[in-house]
Chain A
Amino acid sequence: MVRVNGALLRFTDYRRAITVAAPTVEAALGKLAEEFQPLRKVLFDREGNVRATHKIFLNGEQLERDELGRPTGDADSVDLLLAISGG
């Protein structure tokens, strides 16, 4: 399960909680971007890395960028938080 916050909702067709089956956090984010194409440019930079402007949590624990390979299972939840935007 991946949960997204308010500023990202318009890129996920206003779905707040999305179930994806993926072996790692990074793979889950990739699947999410496959399902919701507009999210890809928001979530990943040109090199395909997750943008530093997003905070990512696995079961409430904030992950560093080098921890996105952490394994995930059916019971896990990933929270995707856009900390701030400059509108």
Chain B
Amino acid sequence: MPRWCAYQVPLDTGMFTPLGLQPTALFRLAFNGAGDWLGRNAMSHRRLVKDHSTGLVIWSASFISGAPVSFFDADHLDVRITGRVCGGGTQFACEGEVLSSAKPAAYMHACCVPLRLDGDPALSGVPARLSAEVMATFLPEEIDARPQRSPVPGVRAAVVREGTLLARHQTHFTIHRHQCEVADQWFWPEAASLASGAREDLLRAAADGVPVLKGALGTQLRRLDLLFNRPFFLFDDGAVVSSAYEWEGRLVFIHELAGAGDGHVRAVAIEQFARDGLIWD
């Protein structure tokens, strides 16, 4: 059996919106939990970087909302996290379950790519397989030869092909240090924040003319998928190009996060909301 770690997180109001859990807060929680799992079962993230010249960079992440929960339901969340190596050592994936008063509140999944660090103070690195020494700290059942796949390309293609475009909007941003991690590279949960901010800007600009869009202000996000191509860094300027679609009874927002200079898309976020209270599985 793959190993899990379980713990309780005391709640604060900043982890919630009036509608439910904040995905960005949960992604931060998940990353922290994955570090805890690594430290308890394999080796700490700090040792991985410092002693084994191995970094982890995010490649994909998902948040799936469960039962409706609010800050007033419980004093803490129960979190369960597990990790595994995939793709023969080319990925480290973790999944997490969040429960509130024994109700499944959210499911999270994240997949990272290992980097071989070059040993310089900027922590620069290139993608590489985990070393045999690091692989040996995982149980055989925590090692999967198959690589993880991201749902983003398939969902995006289906939405663009089959959905109805409702509105499009562009939001500019600059990455500041409070949005970065130890190497002045953006801390990846910021992608969820930038996407949701861009969605709200789109809604403010277009919802009066397209009232159905307001559903995305009044209902909890059901699902968020992120796919990362390359990171943003301190003081990088960028733009989120957001497109709103109606698709299979859902409101779907496809956000492309692109650098201002080269215009290359560095990350894609897809948010899905149930329209008119419809639920899907």
Contact = CB atoms under 8 A, between A and B. Distances in A.
Interface of A: 5-11, 16, 38, 41-43, 45, 51-54, 82-87
B154 interface: no
A7 B235 contact: no
Given A84-B231, A85-B183, 4 more contacts: A53-B125, A83-B124, A86-B57, A87-B181
Contact of B230 (A8, A10, A11, A83): A83
Interface in B110-134: 115, 117-127
Given A38-B121, A53-B118, A87 B55 contact: yes
B279 interface: no
B49 interface: yes
Contacts of B126: 52-53, 84
Contacts of B49: 86-87
B87 to A, nearest CB: 17
Interface residues on B, range: 20 to 34
A70 to B, nearest CB: 21
Given A84-B124, A85-B125, A7 B233 contact: yes
Contacts of A54: 124
A37 B168 CA distance: 46
17 contacts: A6-B233, A7-B124, A7-B233, A10-B234, A16-B235, A38-B121, A42-B120, A42-B124, A45-B119, A53-B120, A53-B126, A82-B124, A84-B115, A86-B57, A86-B117, A86-B183, A87-B185
Contacts of B21: none
Interface string B179-204: 00111110000000000000000000
A9 B234 contact: yes
A10 B234 CA distance: 9
B261 to A, nearest CB: 9
Contacts of A87: 49, 55, 123, 181-183, 185
A41 B120 contact: yes
Contacts of A84: 57, 115, 124-127, 185, 230-231
Most A CB contacts (10 A, CB to CB) among B120, B122, B185, B234 go to: B122
B236 interface: yes
Q: Is the interface of B mostly helix, strand, loop or mixed?
A: loop
B124 A51 contact: yes
Contact of B236 (A6, A11, A38): A6
Given A6-B175, A6-B236, A85 B55 contact: yes
Contact of B115 (A5, A6, A9, A86): A86
B107 interface: no
B184 A9 contact: yes
A82 B232 contact: no
3 A-B pairs closest in CB distance: A86-B55, A6-B233, A87-B183
Contacts of B182: 87
A12 B150 CA distance: 37
B54 interface: yes
Contacts of B184: 6-7, 9-10, 85
Contact of B54 (A5, A45, A86): A86
A11 B236 CA distance: 16
Nearest to A38: B121
